[in-house]
Structure 1
Amino acid sequence: MNASTNQNVQDSLMLRLKQETLSEHDRMEVLMKQSGAFESKENYAQFTLSQYYFQKDVENLYLDEKVQRLIPDLDVRGRSIAAFKDLEDLGVSPQQQSVATQTVAYPESLGWIYVSEGSTLGAAFLFKEAQAKFGFSADFAARNLAAYPEGRAIVWKRFKQTLDEAGFNEEEKNQIIAGALQGFKRFGDLLEDLKNLK
């Protein structure tokens, strides 16, 4: 990497996030394969439960006024209600009430939201799997994997642009990256404990 490229990475929060969470992306792919989420409807239901709990964690962060000011389209981004309806379709009632982000503060919270927003891109593949294996759809049992009404790419691009143009200083960028790593760890923990989730 030359000095110019390195400077671009330092300037772009999104590029730093991508680079510094690369190993976590890879780990999530491994955990997803190991989860056997699409091997049976029961496994898929447990995976949907993990999605629901993670979305509840992330949407708890939407309550912060600083987050609301920075990301004005939060109302289109949350997926916990969709996941809850999917669980109803699958005959599963979530038992846990607590969220893992009670002590997460801004701007660290943006790292968690980054993990959630990034997952919507990978969800395109998962949505196709749910359709192919089980016949699920955007109206039944796979709502939380479906695309945003205006499309995944447009909403993701808007989020990336928002973070890159926010003018965070170095310390704030480091906090956001730390938040992203926490978010990945949380979702990884959920995937590893999939069979025990209630």
Structure 2
Amino acid sequence: MVSEYLKQNTAEYHNAAEKLFNSERIFNKTFTLEDYKKIIHSNYLMLLHSEDKIFNSLSQRFSEKLQLNLRRKLPLIQKDLKSLSLENKDAMHVLEIENEHEALGMLYVIEGSTLGGNVIAKQLSKTEGFDDITFHFFGCYQENTGFMWKNFKEVLDSEVHQENYDEVLSGAQKLYTLLLNVH
């Protein structure tokens, strides 16, 4: 299954992102508002440079099966930027998407961040200093987070064949690299 292949082969990127964003501090309640601003800003830049390109690279078949209209995150994270008094930026990085499989790999990273973001939002809502924060991006699916992730994985695993695993992985690696390098 391609979802397991991606999980195994992107673990080092996932760990690097957790380290970059001081994720361990979320769970020991030492995560600060500045840490939160950094993670929101980086995710915003990642989405700014990728979301439209990813969605435009996916066929109508994937658009319907994945309910892409429900998966747009850029407008949500822009609300977070505004509430945190962070400024919008213009897209300055060039992200090349070679094919639909790479786009699916990139979407894997975004949907995975949503899954993790739900946990982050729950944890931070119990952390001092986050009382007035509205988690538009991290809480985007609310109680449907598990369902949306499961649906995404099922479509990915049923539609992507083994000969395309490396292309999907390439897309995931490209987007993780962008996330880890945008500032």
Query: TM over 0.5: same fold?
Result: yes
Task: Give 1:55's aligned residue.
Answer: 47
- Assess, with a 3 A threshold, how the Cα gap between structure 1 residues 168 and 88 changes in structure 2: closer, same or farther: same
Larger C-alpha radius of gyration, 1 or 2? 1
Query: Any gaps of 5 or more consecutive residues in structure 2?
Result: none
Task: Give 2:13's aligned residue.
Answer: 24
Query: CA contact under 8 A between 1:45 and 1:90: conserved in structure 2?
Result: yes
TM-score normalized by structure 1? 0.77
Matched, 1:166 2:166: no
Q: Deviations over 1:15-71 (max 9, x none)?
A: 1111111222222222221797874434422321111111223312102252x4214
Relative contact order: is structure 1 or structure 2 higher (C-alpha 8 Å, sep ≥ 6)?
2
Identity %: 25
Task: Give how far 1:86 is off.
Answer: 1.0
Query: Any gaps of 5 or more consecutive residues in structure 1?
Result: 1-11, 191-196
Task: Give 1:176's aligned residue.
Answer: 168
Q: Which amino acid aligns with 2:62?
A: L
Matches within 5 A, 1:17-166: 17-33=6-22, 39-60=31-52, 61-66=54-59, 68-72=60-64, 73-131=67-125, 132-133=127-128, 134-137=130-133, 140=134, 142-149=135-142, 151-166=144-159
Q: Which amino acid aligns with 1:135?
A: D
| Mapped partners of 1:100, 1:78: distance in 2 | 20
- Assess, with a 3 A threshold, how the Cα gap between structure 1 residues 54 and 35 changes in structure 2: closer, same or farther: farther
Which contiguous aligned blocks of 4+ residues in structure 1 show a shift greater than 4 angstroms? 34-39
Task: Give how far 1:79 is off.
Answer: 1.2
| Mapped partners of 2:165, 2:144: distance in 1 | 27
| Mapped partners of 1:24, 1:35: distance in 2 | 16
